Amino acid sequence: MGNNPRLEYIRQRSIFVKVHRIVNLMKWKKLEHNGILFPPDFETKKIKIKIKGESVDLDIKQEEMVYQWAKKKDTPYAQDKVFQKNFVADFAKTFGSKYKKLELTDIEFENAFNLVDKEKDAKEILTKEEKKALALKRKELRDEMKEKFGKGKMDGKEVEIANYMAEPPGIFIGRGEHPLRGKWKPKVTTKHVTLNLGKEAKIPKGDWGKIVHDKESMWMASWTDYLTQKRKYVWLADTAGIKQDRDKAKYDKAKMLAGEIETVKNKIVKDMGSRDAEIRRISTVCWLIYRTAMRVGDEKDPEEADTVGATTLRKEHVTLTTDAIKFDFLGKDSVRWQETVPAIGNDKQFYENLKELTLKIKPTDEIFGNLTSRGVNEYYKTVVNGLTAKVFRTFSASTVVSRYLNENGDIKKRSQMEKLYHAKLANLEAAKMCNHKRTIPKTFEQSLQKKRDTLKVAEKATPWKKNEEILEKAGITKTKTDAQEKKRKERITKIKQMIKKSKTKQKEKVEKLKLQLDLTEKTRDYNLGTSLRNYIDPRIFKSWTDEVKADWEKLYTSALQKKFLWVKSENESWQNVSKHY
């Protein structure tokens, strides 16, 4: 079969369709759980404020808002003008029409600030025993709540439930330059929550918004976020068998796409040159998704920040130079996406199509008109049944990781630290491709300098010096008997071994610090965790670490190891896995 390209093509396609069908067949029959846990109500702290010089009596909601603002007083958020404006606007609304043009400077928070400082000081002066006792008390409460809300039954088997608590009310932070940052997120109650249960299951006590029996879904409860209008979910824990099966199927789809990618590419490239304008339009957006791993883009809610993706790009987001295509826009979570694609090879046609599509439209017009993710996925299905745009991000992230590991050769004889360093640089390539940028911590430079200082000290350190002095003395020590001479020589041998061991240990320490420093500098702008958790086929790192004799557990946190339990039963070699991507 392997010698017949046509038969191999049919085999790969049938496997892809089979995986797609398996995913659709994964359903539960019975589901029971106790609903979700709600955070405790805010208790008054007798906070007093003044507005425009006058003392104001606060109700419990207003007091909670003031307290939360006070807790943000020493953060960069409190200095952000948009954050300030949004918070004050929401706070003013709680007084009806009394304060129509309220400014932050009109409010005296001194009493609330002092309270927060006192609470912070009180925590800092606690003894070790007191801190330990409080931690134990919190753990006992967590264990009690987990027993009640963190477990359920699916098809008669006990399953863990992941994030079983509703989000507490508070000030919305958001990611990047989110326009809603600073606004107040109100309390979630049972009336807002939809529970997903089996038809025969006992309904937990409470005035729930809705009860559904969605056997295809892995969520226990959901509600709509008041501000972003996005659905929030309480999911099955990653260790649940059906969740493990779906997770594996997701990566199997990406693996199958790897076997079909030339067929898909050829079809898109051919259609980009079609005489039919509609075919050119849809194939161009599909090439964009393949070429950049960009999200489709129309998953955004109307009230969300002005973020875009492939189908919703506007002319103002794309600049066509003489020989390249430049993208600059806000992507998911208001994270800026900047990328340049040179107009060479197949990208020449891509360039020409974008030029045609943007020629007669305004800067604020969408390049691809009314095209949606449904239209994109319908097109993909004409190439390979079961293929969707989402599979491309998993495929692309996995491919760049596999390529990096392959291109960096045989490192079996390198140190464990260097092996993990290369694995993390491969992870970084995926984070860059997926545009997983992060907000740089305010202490980043301070932390980086500390690492540099530690390295300088380590490079100058000579912990073996004292033993060298002892060795020198032992070398000139005169002995009177053969037994003493034998003992002296044995001592010299032992000291030499100690010196050698000390130098090796010091060399390893310096190497480790250098790699850590370099990795910290290179990953400054990116979050590696998202791609590692959601987009990189874990079989790539598992087979590679097995091949080079590295520790897979050092790369994946204990939580991710539980999520990818299914990987441990996979015994594919690195040679075989790397052929797929």
Instruction: Report the distance separating Cα 165 and Cα 36, nearest Å.
Output: 6
How far apart, in whole angstroms, are the C-alpha atoms of residue 10 and residue 8?
5
Every domain of the chain and the residues it spans = 1-28+238-437+525-581, 49-127
Instruction: Select from 21, 25, 69, 30 the least CA-distant residue to 49.
Output: 69
Q: Where are the beta strands (DSSP E) in 54-203?
A: 54-56, 107-108, 151-154, 157-160, 170-171, 184-185, 194-196
- pLDDT at 21 (0 to 100): 52
So what CATH class is 49-127? mainly alpha
Task: With beta carbons less than 8 A apart as the criterion, state whether 256 and 391 touch.
Answer: no
CA 422, chain centre distance (Å) = 20
Instruction: Give the CA count within 13 Å in the CB-facing half-sphere of 577.
Output: 27
Of 77, 164, 251, 535, which is the active-site residue? 535
- The tokens of 340 are what? 């340049």
Can 1-28+238-437+525-581 and 49-127 be said to share one CATH topology?
Answer: no
Domain 1-28+238-437+525-581, second-level architecture? Alpha-Beta Complex (3.90)
User: Coil, strand or helix: which one is 402?
Assistant: helix
Whole-angstrom Cα distance, residue 581 to residue 576? 10
Hey, what amino acid is at 213?
A: H
Q: Which helix (H) or strand (E) holds 210?
A: strand 210-212
Is 535 a known active-site residue?
yes
Q: Write the secondary structure of 332-387 as one string of H (helix), E (strand) and C (coil).
A: HHHCEEEEEEECCCCHHHHHHHHHHHHCCCCCCCECCCCCCHHHHHHHHHHHCCCC
How far apart CA 296 and CA 310 sit, in angstroms, is 5
- Written as tens digits, the pLDDT of the chain (581 aa) is 445 545 544 555 555 555 555 555 568 899 999 999 999 999 999 999 999 999 999 999 999 999 999 999 999 899 999 999 999 999 999 999 898 889 999 999 999 999 999 999 999 999 999 999 999 999 999 999 999 999 999 999 999 999 999 999 999 998 777 889 999 999 999 999 999 999 999 999 999 999 999 998 889 999 999 998 889 999 998 888 888 998 999 999 999 999 889 999 999 999 999 999 999 999 999 999 999 999 987 655 444 556 789 999 999 999 999 999 999 998 887 788 999 999 999 999 999 999 999 999 999 999 999 899 999 999 999 888 888 898 999 999 999 999 999 998 778 889 999 999 999 999 999 999 999 998 888 889 999 999 999 999 999 999 999 999 999 888 888 888 989 989 999 999 999 999 999 999 999 999 999 999 999 999 999 999 999 999 999 999 999 999 999 999 999 999 999 999 999 888 899 999 998 88
Helix boundaries (H) for 237-346: 241-272, 277-292
Q: How far is CA 114 from CA 119, 128, 294, in A?
A: 9, 25, 47
d(CA 292, CA 300): 19
Coil, strand, or helix at residue 209?
Answer: coil
What is the strand order of the sheet 336-342 is part of?
318-320, 324-330, 336-342
CA dist., res. 441 & res. 450, Å (int): 15
Q: For residue 2, what pLDDT is reported?
A: 46
Q: What is the pLDDT of residue 316?
A: 96
- Comparing CA positions, the residue from 2, 23, 103 lying closest to residue 385 is 23
Look at residue 74 in the predicted model and tell me its pLDDT: 92
Pairwise CA distance, residues 521 & 523, whole Å? 6
User: What pLDDT shows up at residue 305?
Assistant: 56
**176, 298, 438, 541 from 532: Cα distances, Å:** 21, 25, 15, 10
What tokens were used for 209? Answer: 């918004």
Structure tokens that stand for 569 in this block: 């039963």
Contact 531, 398 (CB under 8 A): no
Cβ–Cβ < 8 Å for 354, 371: no
Look at residue 19 in the predicted model and tell me its pLDDT.
53
Q: What confidence score (pLDDT) does residue 12 get?
A: 52
User: For residue 483, with 0-12 CB atoms within 10 Å meaning exposed, 13-18 middle and 19 or more buried, which class applies?
Assistant: exposed
The tokens describing 538, both together, are 């874990």
Tell me the C-alpha to C-alpha distance, in Å, between residue 460 and each of 415, 468, 478, 507, 517. Answer: 22, 16, 34, 11, 17
Q: Decide if 517 contacts 452 (C-beta within 8 A).
A: yes
